[in-house]
């Protein structure tokens, strides 16, 4: 190995050894900073109000229509603006995540004073602020911090999670949202099928072509089946597999916060030690013999 390479390797070993010595000499400082971060996180987790998570497990409901439309009828249905049936989990999940769905839920349940309880005077029944929070802010809070929807791509199962300070309210909101979603999708399907039935009946009376009458009759039969299924099925879009139960405090999450805070404190303290030693070394070089001679 060339002498230059040996010198570089020796310098690297010396640098690593010096870094380790610097950390070992400052082990008390590192331990103190890490402990301070951990203590701060403990105080935060104990003093801050806990947030509880309530979960509802949903399974998409498969299409139950027994009438399969052949290719020609399916094309005809598309031309007249009639869907092929089924709500589809994609549409239902999109509705569940939508701001309009959250807005309607907040309005119907009168959740503004609950979502912004710190600004609401329950005794006087009025807001403490001159400009009270509006529905737009409530929807933003609900969308970003309260409601969460996750879909398992492999199984198709959907988990609706509600996080809130009151565990009973978290469970109640999660269960109610699942019920409202099914009712919303069912009412939408009923309205679409009713409109399609009226349109098809009108077209059936207006045409005199036998083959066209037969095709429209098949489409009309399909829409009538959709109406019956929607009217008789409460769990229209999703079947509720597990309802939300009143959650308990998640101690594992709080312990994780403390551990992460201690780890961050340790990393921060290492940086402090390195910067302090670098400053001392530079100051020592500046005060050395060469600096005096200059």
For residues 164 and 146, the answer to whether their CB atoms sit within 8 Å is yes
CA distance 193 to 199: 10
Rounded CA-CA distance 220/212 in Å is 12
How much is the pLDDT for 74?
47
Q: Residue 44 falls within a domain, yes or no?
A: yes
Give long-range contacts, CB 8 A cutoff, 24+ apart: 17-22: 19/274, 22/273, 22/274, 22/277
Work out the burial of residue 71: count CB atoms within 10 Å of its CB; fewer than 13 is exposed, 13-18 middle, 19 or more buried: exposed
Do 41 and 90 lie in one domain? The reply is no
- The residue out of 242, 261, 278 marking a domain boundary is 242
Q: Are 45 and 258 in contact (CB under 8 A)?
A: yes
Are 184 and 99 members of one domain? yes
CA neighbours closer than 13 Å in the CB half-sphere of residue 201: 8
- Within a domain: 9: no
Q: Could you give the CA distance from residue 147 to residue 163 in angstroms, rounded to a whole number?
A: 7
- Tell whether 59 and 176 lie within a shared domain: yes
Is residue 198 domain-resident? Answer: yes
- Sign of CA pseudo-dihedral 32, 37, 43, 46: negative
Which among 149, 144, 170, 168 has a CA at the least distance from the CA of 159? Answer: 149
Q: What CATH number has the domain bearing residue 73?
A: 3.30.1890
Q: Is residue 177 part of a domain?
A: yes
Q: In what order do the strands lie in the sheet with 238-242?
A: 147-151, 158-164, 52-60, 238-242
Asked whether residue 196 is assigned to any structural domain, the reply reads yes
Q: At what angle do helices 99-109 and 89-97 cross, to 10 degrees?
A: 60
Tell me if 69 is assigned to some domain: yes
Q: With beta carbons less than 8 A apart as the criterion, state whether 181 and 101 touch.
A: yes
Same domain, 137 and 71: yes
Q: Do residue 113 and residue 28 come from a single domain?
A: no
Q: How many domains does the chain have?
A: 2
Domain assignment present for residue 206? The answer is yes
Residues 131 and 41 in one domain: no
265 and 219 assigned to the same domain: no
- pTM, rounded to two decimals: 0.67
pLDDT tens string, the chain, 294 residues long: the values are: 554 544 444 444 546 677 777 778 888 888 888 888 888 888 777 766 788 899 999 999 876 544 444 444 444 444 444 554 444 688 999 999 999 999 999 999 999 999 999 999 988 889 998 899 999 999 999 999 999 999 998 999 999 999 999 999 999 999 999 999 999 999 988 888 888 888 888 888 888 888 888 888 888 888 887 777 777 788 888 999 999 999 887 666 678 878 888 889 888 888 888 788 777 777 765 655 555 444
Cα–Cα distance measured from residue 157 to residue 98, given in angstroms and rounded to the nearest whole number? 19
Taking residue 145's Cβ as centre, other Cβ atoms within 10 Å add up to 12
Q: Is residue 293 part of a domain?
A: no
74 plus 23 within the same structural domain: no
> The domain containing residue 94 runs over which residues?
52-242
Tell me, yes or no, whether 29 and 91 share the same domain: no
Kindly state whether residues 122 and 262 are assigned to the same domain: no
Are 164 and 44 members of one domain?
Answer: no
Same domain, 40 and 133: no
Last residue of a domain, one of 242, 260, 276: 242
């Amino acid at each position: 190995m060339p002498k230059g390479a040996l010198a570089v390797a020796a310098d690297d070993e010396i640098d690593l050894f010096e870094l380790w010595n610097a950390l070992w000499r400052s082990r008390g400082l590192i331990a103190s900073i890490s402990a301070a971060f951990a203590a701060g996180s403990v105080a935060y987790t104990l003093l801050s109000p806990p947030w509880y998570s309530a979960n509802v497990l949903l399974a998409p409901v498969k299409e139950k229509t027994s009438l399969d439309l052949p290719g020609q009828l399916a094309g005809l249905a598309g031309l007249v603006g009639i869907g092929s049936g089924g709500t589809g989990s994609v549409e239902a999940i999109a509705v569940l995540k939508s701001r309009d769905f959250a807005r309607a839920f907040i309005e119907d349940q009168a959740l503004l004073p609950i979502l912004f309880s710190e600004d609401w005077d329950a005794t006087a029944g009025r807001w403490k602020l001159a400009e009270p929070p509006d529905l737009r802010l409530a929807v933003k809070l609900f969308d970003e911090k309260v409601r969460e929807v996750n879909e398992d791509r492999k199984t198709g199962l959907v988990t609706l999670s509600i996080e809130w300070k009151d565990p009973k309210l978290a469970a109640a909101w999660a269960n109610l949202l699942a019920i409202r979603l099914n009712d919303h999708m069912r009412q939408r399907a009923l309205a679409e099928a009713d409109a399609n039935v009226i349109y098809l009946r009108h077209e059936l009376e207006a045409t005199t072509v036998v083959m066209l009458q037969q095709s429209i009759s098949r489409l009309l039969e399909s829409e009538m089946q959709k109406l019956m299924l929607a009217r008789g099925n409460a769990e229209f879009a999703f079947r509720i597999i597990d309802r939300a139960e009143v959650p308990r405090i998640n101690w594992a999450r709080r312990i994780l916060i403390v551990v992460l805070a201690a780890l961050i404190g340790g990393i921060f303290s290492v940086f402090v030690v390195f910067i302090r030693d670098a400053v001392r070394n530079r100051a020592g070089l500046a005060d050395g013999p060469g600096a005096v001679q200059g």
